[in-house]
A and B are shown apart, each in its own frame.
Chain A
């Protein structure tokens, strides 16, 4: 019952993407927004959706400790399953938690070879095989194209989908196509781009790339209280 409800709430499909995974094997996706708007919250919801569908998610954070990332998942899952009892939530959480593994790196020590080495440790010992990877906190203004190309290759090699958070700086004027300038050098590597846009008290979610041209794009919002996605008016 809980499972159905969470799948039902899976949000991004409504932005006009055709399949539940949004990304194909080897695909890269980006969620871009200013600081504090809800990039991590959105990707944690995407991850929870995968976990509920029993697909493994590797959450790589370059900014937060494991406990903080874990807290994000707990909070979001509690919000999603708010109508259930604490014990039911706990039971369900115990069931889906093995589908998630958190890895945190310091920004300065993160590199694609290190990530691959850690992943190989997991794969070789049959501990964890990620279906989707979330990379939260990569500095696109500092990461060269080379690093993103390597990540794309890694995604293809292991048949994974990789989602990134992209921080848009407030002082940075956007390029003509509306994308942040610091992102332009790698934009072609991405299959899907979603933007969070804060207007007044509301945060709108827009698909910028990868959505089907035929599908109707719903207006989606992030509820500022729960950070859950809801349909706009």
Chain B
């Protein structure tokens, strides 16, 4: 195994759906000799790209679960995580960014910086991942890499610097001019594997010189040596430029931009050089864990293979080899046969086999040193768990997990499917923290929850295909919430003293809306009106009431409960009695506190040719959408809006038919907002009807 940390790169490939990142990864694997033939996404040969290993991904032409792989390029070991491009799978993107040291942001030379690129960029910022950009699809009609560079600057605020300029564009794309080495690069052979270096074509020389000057100017901000060379007019070597650009890149103050066409096998190799030269090695990135024994104080980890182990399980997969746990080792060495501890459960785990994954093929290794990404076999854990050596109690910072906004009832068609379904649900909820499942006590239905229609759709499909679970699905349900809008007093006595063990408890006080919190319980009882030992029971009773509103049965949020009086009975009062009293008190006050329903509002961004802008705005408006704005992008126009999730079902079909399939959209949760009265009445009717049906 390669020992030199300087030559390790853990990178992710992130971008908008359809910008060609899986194709790019496929080419990287080919040029680094990890695969020996190229298969395209949705390829005619029916094989599919190597990184899209799930059957469903191949069919839909999108990447769902990030497959991990590693390869070698010019002595550098590169671990690559291919990440999904659809917003519904953002948790996968977030997870991979958590364990990466650098990223390649793939952009389409035609589409440019699209809404999903903005989401991905925000995530990169959150995890401070330095990145280089690759402008793909320069062979497509309408390609304009410099417009994309401008968008990187204006839309994402990157200090984007071209490292290359294209030689020809669209169908005339021949190669690129390397602005650092000032040479023209052409890519010959059947798969562009032979790099031919030539003089810069004379017609491009002036542009190359001026772009190089821009590059050097910007890079000089990060290197005194380079600044001196500029001022003194001495020779500026490629090493000087790379060193300066690298410094800026690691600080996230420069985004070097490479360009080409993965599909046409043009200029992928120089981008790989860029990964080697410009992205950080593991020891250049500061990784922080939390000390569980010291009030979660942050501890900076050392990328030292001899230190105690700290590793993060960032992905689980249930494949043909059994359960596979992808880990990133931050400190120490995880080796075959050693014992590690799962910090969350405190369980000791003996490591059986250690492998490195190449999409769905694997290679067995003896150990994984700090800085490496690999996988373990037969380790029982959840995604996001931290593994450590005995004697230390560190956990990696928890990942931000958004709450689910949509749910769906599923039921198996037969007994066999029942078993398979529960196996699948168990696996999925371990793999993906945004996917949740529970059994509704009243209807006895199994409910799955997630981040969007497509998110749940994919899991239902996976259940069918991978686990053979034949399931029926109900209509998607929106996660509404209830809250109150005014103060209401209560004074409730729970009394059952008619034989047997009696029950008695009286609670008085009020409930009022609170904006910044889900639930506040404020005990203002003085003089022992309610004995202290029953106060927790009161709180429990109120909390239970919050789980389901008395009227519409949605979870209640934003309530402050104040109790200031009550009474008890020396014999008949009990925890049970006060819990029941609290529930009764809440019921009594709730309807007088003018409850309202809140619904999840999604940020919906539609990219459409300008001629359909009016139609798109109309579609959004019909769905109770509020148009935030429209942005003219030349060939495309972006309409940003906020639309209730309840109105978004089936939107993709309607959008396609209204725009001749030329528009696309992304959707993500924005906030909860009050449901208009007319809609609230409709929801109440639906709830009543559902209740009747269930009865």
As a 0/1 sequence over residues 59 to 89 of chain A, the CB contacts with chain B under 8 angstroms (1 = contact) are 1000001110110000000000000011110
Report the minimum CB–CB distance from B362 to chain A (whole Å): 43
A38 to B628, CA, bound (A): 23
Q: Are A122 and B515 in contact (CB under 8 A)?
A: no
- The distance from the CB of A66 to the nearest CB of chain B, in whole angstroms, is 4
Beta-carbon contacts of B594-626 to A below 8 Å, as 1s and 0s?
000000000000000000011001100100001
Among the listed stretches B76-84, B182-190, B578-586, B629-637, which one makes contact with chain A, having 4 or more residues with CB under 8 Å of it?
A: B629-637
In the complex, how many angstroms separate the beta carbon of B654 from the nearest chain A beta carbon? 15
Q: Tell yes or no: A1 within 8 A of B by CB.
A: no
B614 touches A102 (CB 8 A): no
CB of B287 to closest CB in A, whole Å:
31
Name the one of A66, A87, A97, A127 contacting B618, with C-beta atoms under 8 angstroms.
A127
Q: Which residues of B contact A216 (CB under 8 A)?
A: none
Minimum Cβ distance to chain A for residue B146 (Å): 14
Q: Given A121-B613, A122-B617, decide whether A66 and B630 contact each other with a Cβ distance below 8 A.
A: yes
Chain B residues touching A, range = 20 to 34
Chain A positions 100 through 111: 1 when the CB is less than 8 Å from some CB of chain B, otherwise 0: 011111100110
CA distance A70 to B630 in the complex (A): 12
B515 touches A104 (CB 8 A): no
- Cross-chain contact B626 with A97 (CB below 8 angstroms): yes
A94 at interface by CB-CB < 8 Å: yes
Indicate if B155 sits at the interface (CB-CB under 8 A): yes
- Cβ–Cβ < 8 Å partners of A101 in chain B: 627-630
Q: Is B344 an interface residue (CB 8 A)?
A: no
For B621, give its contact among A65, A118, A125 (CB under 8 Å): A125
Q: Is the CB of A86 within 8 A of B516?
A: yes
Residue of B nearest to A58 (CB): B629
In the bound complex, do residue A104 and residue B632 qualify as a contact, i.e. CB atoms below 8 Å apart? Answer: yes
Q: Are A65 and B155 in contact (CB under 8 A)?
A: yes
Asked if A224 is at the interface (CB within 8 A of a chain B CB), the reply is no
B631 touches A125 (CB 8 A): no
Q: How far is the CB of A147 from chain B (nearest CB, A)?
A: 17
Task: Using CB atoms, name the residue of chain A closest to B514.
Answer: A87
Q: In the assembled complex, how far is the CB of residue A110 from the closest CB belonging to chain B, in whole angstroms?
A: 8
Q: What separation, in Å, do the CA atoms of A105 and B674 have in the docked complex?
A: 32
> In the complex the two chains form, is A127's CB within 8 Å of B629's CB?
no
Task: Check if B431 is an interface residue, CB within 8 A of chain A.
Answer: no
* A153 smallest CB distance to B (angstroms): 22
Q: Are B621 and A104 in contact (CB under 8 A)?
A: no
Q: A87-B516, A94-B673 are in contact. Are A69 and B618 (CB under 8 A)?
A: no
Residue ID in chain B nearest A98 by CB atoms: B626
State the CA gap A65–B640 with chains docked (Å).
Answer: 11
Does A214 touch B at the CB level, under 8 Å? no
Q: Counting CB contacts under 8 A, is A176 at the interface?
A: no
Contact in complex: B154, A103 (CB < 8 Å): no
In the complex, how many angstroms separate the beta carbon of B518 from the nearest chain A beta carbon? 12
A128 proximal to B (CB < 8 A) = yes
- Of A59, A66, A86, A126, chain B has the most CB atoms within 10 Å of the CB of A66
Task: Known contacts A87-B516, A91-B515, A94-B673; decide if A125 and B618 are in contact (CB<8 Å).
Answer: yes
Distance to closest chain A CB from B171 (angstroms)? 26
Contact A128 B628, beta carbon cutoff 8 Å: no
Q: B628 contacts A109, CB within 8 Å?
A: no
Q: Which residues on A sit within 8 Å (CB–CB) of B632?
A: 103-106, 109-110
Kindly provide the distance from the CB of A43 to the nearest chain B CB, expressed in whole angstroms.
Answer: 16
Residues of B with C-beta under 8 A to A86: 515-516
Chain B nearest Cβ from A89, distance in angstroms: 10
Q: Which residues of B contact A106 (CB under 8 A)?
A: 632-634
Give the distance in Å from the alpha carbon of A113 to the alpha carbon of B640 in the complex.
Answer: 22
Q: How far is the CA of A98 from the CA of B674 in the complex (A)?
A: 14
Give the docked Cα–Cα distance between A126 and B673 (Å): 23
How far apart sit A104 and B155, CA to CA, in the bound complex (Å)?
12
When chains A and B are docked, how far (Å) is the Cα of A97 from the Cα of B614? 20
Enumerate chain B residues within 8 angstroms of A59, measured Cβ to Cβ.
629
| A121-B614 in contact (CB<8A) | yes
In the complex, the answer to whether B154 meets A65 with C-beta atoms within 8 Å is yes
Which of chain B's residues have a CB closer than 8 A to the CB of A118?
613-614, 630
Contact between A66 and B629 (Cβ–Cβ < 8 Å)? yes
Between A and B, 30 residue pairs with Cβ closer than 8 Å are A65-B631, A66-B638, A66-B640, A67-B118, A67-B640, A70-B629, A86-B515, A86-B516, A87-B515, A87-B516, A88-B515, A91-B515, A94-B673, A94-B674, A98-B626, A101-B627, A101-B630, A102-B628, A103-B630, A106-B632, A106-B634, A110-B632, A118-B613, A118-B614, A121-B613, A121-B618, A124-B614, A125-B621, A126-B621, A127-B617
Across the A-B interface, give the 8 residue pairs with the lowest CB-CB distance, nearest first: A87-B515, A102-B629, A121-B614, A66-B629, A105-B632, A104-B631, A125-B618, A127-B621
Interface residues, chain B, CB within 8 Å of chain A?
A: 118, 154-155, 515-516, 613-614, 617-618, 621, 626-634, 638, 640, 671, 673-674
Given contacts A66-B638, A124-B614, 5 further A-B contacts (CB under 8 A): A65-B154, A67-B118, A104-B630, A106-B634, A127-B617
